[in-house]
Amino acid sequence: MLFNSLEFIIFFLIFFFSYWFIFNKNIKLQNLLILCSSYFFYAWWDWRFLILIIISSSTDYLIGIQIENLKNKIYKKRALILSLFVNLGILLVFKYYNFFIDNFKIVLEKMNLQTNPDLINIILPIGISFYTFQTLSYTIDVYNNKISAHRDSISFFAFVAFFPQLVAGPIERAKNLLPQFLIKRKFNYDFAISGCRLILIGLFKKMVIADNISLIVDPIYSNPNDYLGFPILLATIFFAFQIYCDFSGYSDIAIGLARLLGFKLMTNFNTPYFSKSLTDFWRNWHISLSTWFKDYVYIPLGGNRISKKKMHLNIIITFLLSGFWHGANWTFLIWGAIHGFGLIIEKNFSFKLKNNFVLDSLRIFSTFSIVCLAWIFFRSETFSDSILIFNNLFVDILDYTNYDKMSLKFRGIGLKPIDLIKCVLFIILLIFIELSSKSKKIMNIFNSNKFIRYSGYYFILILIIFWGTRFSGNNFIYFQF
């Protein structure tokens, strides 16, 4: 069940009515409704995978209590290891088993050893990487005495399976989200309106920008042999906006839906493409994941409190794991390595510059360029495809500045130059919206003037209706991670 589908609209309307008008007087019944509805929402794809969420939730609920009750540090550590074993074990089997078997087979063949290891036709459960990390952070925090073990099983299970952010985050921490299940929630009109605004922006990002751009990006990246120069460069830049609008669009909708239910989720994106460095980029991109790896991988390894060599190693390890989290493919590892080495270079050779428009623009441009080059590995289906794309990227780059040649080439994938212009205009509108949201003056005018405000809402709604409805039901990119 997708946020951008008719089924979800019907599901949420029934849920919303029941939540606020039938079960609103009893918080335990509200939490039970959230849990049952979240399981129904997830089972819509494949009910069999519900057992994985139940196993993960049950394991960490019981282990959290056990860790708190145990006094012996060794036994506490064993309980934590059991939690890691169960959660990461499920993740490894369903997401990485075939990857390891394939590479093990290649190594044996290089050694002239014959083997026939069995591959398993495994369907990757939707959202497994997200809810696994969310529940893991709970047991780690209980072990480190950052939070107390949760005793209310219904609210804990609802926390793990909370449907607005179950499939693609944000990856919430237990200390932020769990307490909200224990407090009686009252409908707040202003909070709900802000949620509706986020949902509208999220749908615009996904259905109007990301899905339209995919019509250009997907054919080119699926057939890199057929394109040289400008089409590949354009597809690479467009993919940067496609994945941002797709993923941040999901996050906006998730946060907005949660606000309609009286919950506050963390911000997951903060205009990352306006970052002036890779360090800033990772402060603003997929914030819930980057802070997760910082808190549970980078800092436990020693963080910045050790020698430079070890710190650099910790950065590489963290970003390799981050890349591997995204998928069982060498391309994701390379993507993570590029960002890791880029941060190391930045830490060693960066120096403070005065803020002015020209320098800031150059820093933003250079950061965006590095991010786009790294996206080539992220988007490519294989390592050989990514190398091919790099080789073809700047070949005859000026050849397609000729309108007739460009028109002919893009008609091969069923597009006209007007489709490219339309996507560019959508991206410009996105940039205007995001820059405006950072300006207090513009936001004050927007919030105080009803005509301007509702004109903006209706304009975005019209764009969704006319340029987004034909894509309704398209999967979100991060559903596969």
Name the residue among 250, 226, 255, 233 with its Cα closest to residue 412.
226
> Over pLDDT 70: what percentage of the chain?
89
For the question of residue 150 being annotated catalytic, the response is no
* Alpha helices, DSSP H, located in 92-162: 97-110, 128-143, 153-161
In the predicted structure, residue 3 carries a pLDDT above the cut 90: no
Average pLDDT along the chain: 87
pLDDT for the residue 469: 63
Q: How confident is the model at residue 103 (pLDDT cuts 50, 70, 90)?
A: low
In the predicted structure, residue 113 carries a pLDDT above the cut 70: no
Cis peptide bond prior to 170, omega within 30° of 0: yes
Structure tokens at 298: 């980078």
Name the residue among 296, 281, 299, 341 with its Cα closest to residue 316.
341
Q: How confident is the model at residue 95 (pLDDT cuts 50, 70, 90)?
A: confident
Structure tokens at 146: 């950052």
pLDDT for the residue 369: 94
Q: Among 110-119, 254-263, 355-364, which is the least confidently predicted range?
A: 110-119
In the predicted structure, residue 65 carries a pLDDT above the cut 90: yes
Q: Would you give the end-to-end CA distance of the chain in angstroms? A: 17
Name the residue among 168, 144, 440, 93 with its Cα closest to residue 295.
144
pLDDT for the residue 286: 93
Name the residue among 356, 362, 359, 318 with its Cα closest to residue 336.
318
Q: How far apart are CA 293 and CA 306, in angstroms?
A: 18
Q: How confident is the model at residue 449 (pLDDT cuts 50, 70, 90)?
A: confident
pTM of the shown model: 0.90
Helix/strand/coil for 71: coil
Are 396 and 260 in contact by the 8 Å Cβ rule? The answer is no
Q: Which amino acid is at 38?
A: S
Q: How far apart are CA 98 and CA 333, in angstroms?
A: 16
Q: Any idea of the CA torsion for 14, 15, 20, 25, to the nearest 10 degrees?
A: 120
What's the Cα-to-Cα distance from 175 to each of 49, 146, 166, rounded to whole Å? 27, 8, 17
Q: Which amino acid is at 250?
A: Y
Helix/strand/coil for 225: helix
The burial of 3, by beta-carbon neighbours within 10 Å (0-12 exposed, 13-18 middle, 19 or more buried), is given as buried
In the predicted structure, residue 384 carries a pLDDT above the cut 70: yes
pLDDT for the residue 4: 80
Q: How far apart are CA 443 and CA 342, in angstroms?
A: 35
Are 64 and 293 in contact by the 8 Å Cβ rule? The answer is no
Q: Which amino acid is at 334?
A: I
Three-state SS annotation for 107-126: HHHHCCCCCCCCCCCCCCCC
pLDDT for the residue 63: 94
pLDDT in tens, 114-161: 666 665 666 778 888 889 999 999 999 999 999 999 999 999 999 999
Are 159 and 174 in contact by the 8 Å Cβ rule? The answer is yes
Active-site residue, from 150, 286, 312, 326: 326
> Over pLDDT 90: what percentage of the chain?
53
- Which residues 6+ apart lie within 8 Å of 372 measured at CB? 236, 237, 239, 240
In this structure, the number of other CB atoms found within 10 A of the CB of residue 381 comes to: 12
In this structure, the number of other CB atoms found within 10 A of the CB of residue 453 comes to: 14
pLDDT in tens, 167-180: 887 999 999 999 99
Query: What b/e sequence results for 320-334 when a residue is b if at least 16 CB atoms lie within 10 Å of its CB, and e otherwise?
Result: bebbbbbbbbbbbbb
pLDDT for the residue 54: 94
Three-state SS annotation for 348-380: HHCCCCCCCHHHHHHHHHHHHHHHHHHHHHHHC
